[in-house]
Amino acid sequence: MFGRIEDIVRTSGKRVRDASGFTVENKGTRENLVTSMDIENEIFLRRELTSLIPGSTFMGEEGDDARVSDEGYTWVVDPIDGTANFSRGIPMVGISVALFKDGEPHMGFVHNPFTDTTYSAVAGGGAFRNGERVHVSDRELADCIMCTAWCTYEKSMAPGCFRVSERMHPMCNDIRRIGTAAVELGLLSEGAVDLYFEIRLSPWDYSAGLLCVKEAGGCYTGIDGDVDWNEPSPVIAANNESNMETLLGVVRDEFDGKRPY
Ligand code: LIP
């Protein structure tokens, strides 16, 4: 099953990599884009993945409002994470596929077709990059690179995000804004980066990437408890508990300890 899912994800990646002539539209706010390739790839992934496991349900960024079921299998999919990058030809995008089993993350895949990189994980079975086992870094805070964003889709929350960056920057090595949560969490799982924070992400952005982080020995949390697998959530992730607690403390301080939406 693992190999067959990875094959489907990689096949969808070839379609995204070779796409041309796609249209770009706004979804809600001016900054929230959707391309015809997002929609086309979600249709492909929905068809192929639900056929793999008859009776499985599907939650996709571009589709209906399905929820992770407490029994059986649910796919949680972002057909192109980093749509703004994709629409501009910036080769940092992630096709993110998570398979939930009885309400918990079971398998996760994040594939960047432009770098031919696939992060993957199986619950209890470890995390991988192109089939090779990976582990988060052991860097202490002063040597950490943090991936983050400043809430592009809800810019009213940006000031708090900027303040988190302003406070973390002197404590760590540097900050990166790559524009795809899924790939940034994949980079955390392989030890390329060490911290991650966004105040508002959707389950399809982070479900696969957080399983990779956890199976690679990292940790994650929401702002006031666990991340939510069915609703948009803040996401704080790190290479170890100590660094996560430091980042979480700054985030909770800047957002009064609760999600601002
Ligand atoms: C994107 C995330 C990114 C976030 C963007 C956007 P999308 O997902 O991966 O980290 O900062 O605002 O949510 O919308 O391109 O699938």
Neighbours of 139 (CB within 10 A): 18
Residues 235 and 116 grouped into a single domain: no
With the most atoms of ligand 1 within 8 angstroms of its CB, the residue from 29, 81, 86, 204 to mutate is 81
Residues 113 and 222 grouped into a single domain: no
Output the CA 250–ligand 1 centroid distance in Å. 22
Residues 107 and 149 grouped into a single domain: no
Residues 12 and 108 grouped into a single domain: yes
The percentage of the chain sitting over the pLDDT mark of 70, rounded to a whole number, equals 100
Residues 193 and 85 grouped into a single domain: no
Torsion of CA 168, 169, 171, 173, to 10 degrees: 130
| Residue 161, domain member (yes or no) | yes
Residues 106 and 171 grouped into a single domain: no
User: Is the per-residue pLDDT at 98 higher than 80?
Assistant: yes
Residue ending a domain, among 103, 133, 163, is 133
Q: What angle do CA 203, 151, 98 make, to 5 degrees?
A: 15
Distance CA 43, CA 79 (A): 9
| Residue 154, domain member (yes or no) | yes
Residues 236 and 153 grouped into a single domain: yes
Distance of CA 209 to the CA centre of its chain: 5
Q: For residue range 219-260, list pLDDT tens digits in order.
A: 999 999 999 999 999 999 999 999 999 999 999 999 999 899
Q: What is the pLDDT of residue 247?
A: 98
Q: What is the pLDDT of residue 81?
A: 98
Q: Of the given ranges (39-48, 63-72, 89-98), which has the lowest mean pLDDT? A: 63-72
| Residue 70, domain member (yes or no) | yes
Q: What is the pLDDT of residue 174?
A: 98
| Residue 43, domain member (yes or no) | yes
Residue ending a domain, among 76, 102, 133, is 133
CA-204 nearest atom, ligand 1: 16
| Residue 57, domain member (yes or no) | yes
Residues 156 and 247 grouped into a single domain: yes
Q: What is the pLDDT of residue 162?
A: 98
Question: What string of H, E and C letters represents the secondary structure of the chain?
Answer: CHHHHHHHHHHHHHHHHCCCCCCEEEECEEEEEEEHHHHHHHHHHHHHHHHHCCCCEEEECCCCCCCCCCCCEEEEEEEEECHHHHHHCCCCCEEEEEEEECCEEEEEEEEECCCCEEEEEECCCEEEECCEEECCCCCCHHHCEEEECCCCCCHHHHHHHHHHHHHHCCCCCEEECCCCHHHHHHHHHCCCCCEEEEEEECHHHHHHHHHHHHHCCCEEECCCCCCCCCCCEEEEEECCHHHHHHHHHHHHHHCCCCCCC
Nearest residue (CA) to ligand 1, atom 3: 180
Q: Does residue 41 line the site of ligand 1, with CB under 6 A?
A: no
pLDDT band at 187; cut points 50, 70, 90: very high
| Residue 62, domain member (yes or no) | yes
| Residue 261, domain member (yes or no) | no
CA-80 nearest atom, ligand 1: 16
Distance of CA 137 to the CA centre of its chain: 19
Residues 11 and 128 grouped into a single domain: yes
| Residue 260, domain member (yes or no) | no
Residues 126 and 164 grouped into a single domain: no
Output the CA 161–ligand 1 centroid distance in Å. 15
Look up tokens 């499985």; give the residue: 56
Q: What is the pLDDT of residue 29?
A: 86
Output the CA 176–ligand 1 centroid distance in Å. 14
Output the CA 33–ligand 1 centroid distance in Å. 10
| CATH code, domain with 162 | 3.40.190.80
Residues 172-190, mean pLDDT to the nearest whole number = 98
Q: Does residue 94 line the site of ligand 1, with CB under 6 A?
A: no
User: Is the per-residue pLDDT at 15 higher than 80?
Assistant: yes
Residues 63 and 127 grouped into a single domain: yes
Nearest residue (CA) to ligand 1, atom 16: 81
Neighbours of 76 (CB within 10 A): 28
Residues 128 and 156 grouped into a single domain: no
Residue ending a domain, among 117, 133, 149, is 133
CA-152 nearest atom, ligand 1: 12
User: Is the per-residue pLDDT at 63 higher than 90?
Assistant: no
Output the CA 85–ligand 1 centroid distance in Å. 9
Q: Does residue 148 line the site of ligand 1, with CB under 6 A?
A: no
With the most atoms of ligand 1 within 8 angstroms of its CB, the residue from 165, 176, 180 to mutate is 180
Q: Does residue 85 line the site of ligand 1, with CB under 6 A?
A: no
Domain count, the chain: 2
CA-184 nearest atom, ligand 1: 10
Domain range for residue 51?
2-133
Q: Are 136 and 239 within 8 A, CB to CB?
A: yes
Token pair for residue 161? 């995000």
With the most atoms of ligand 1 within 8 angstroms of its CB, the residue from 34, 157, 201 to mutate is 201
Token pair for residue 85? 């990058």
Q: What is the pLDDT of residue 161?
A: 98
In this structure, what are the phi and psi dihedrals at residue 33, rounded to the nearest 5 degrees?
Answer: -100, 155
| CATH code, domain with 67 | 3.30.540.10
Q: What is the mean pLDDT of the chain?
A: 97
pLDDT band at 28; cut points 50, 70, 90: confident
Distance CA 220, CA 211 (A): 10
Q: What is the pLDDT of residue 66?
A: 87
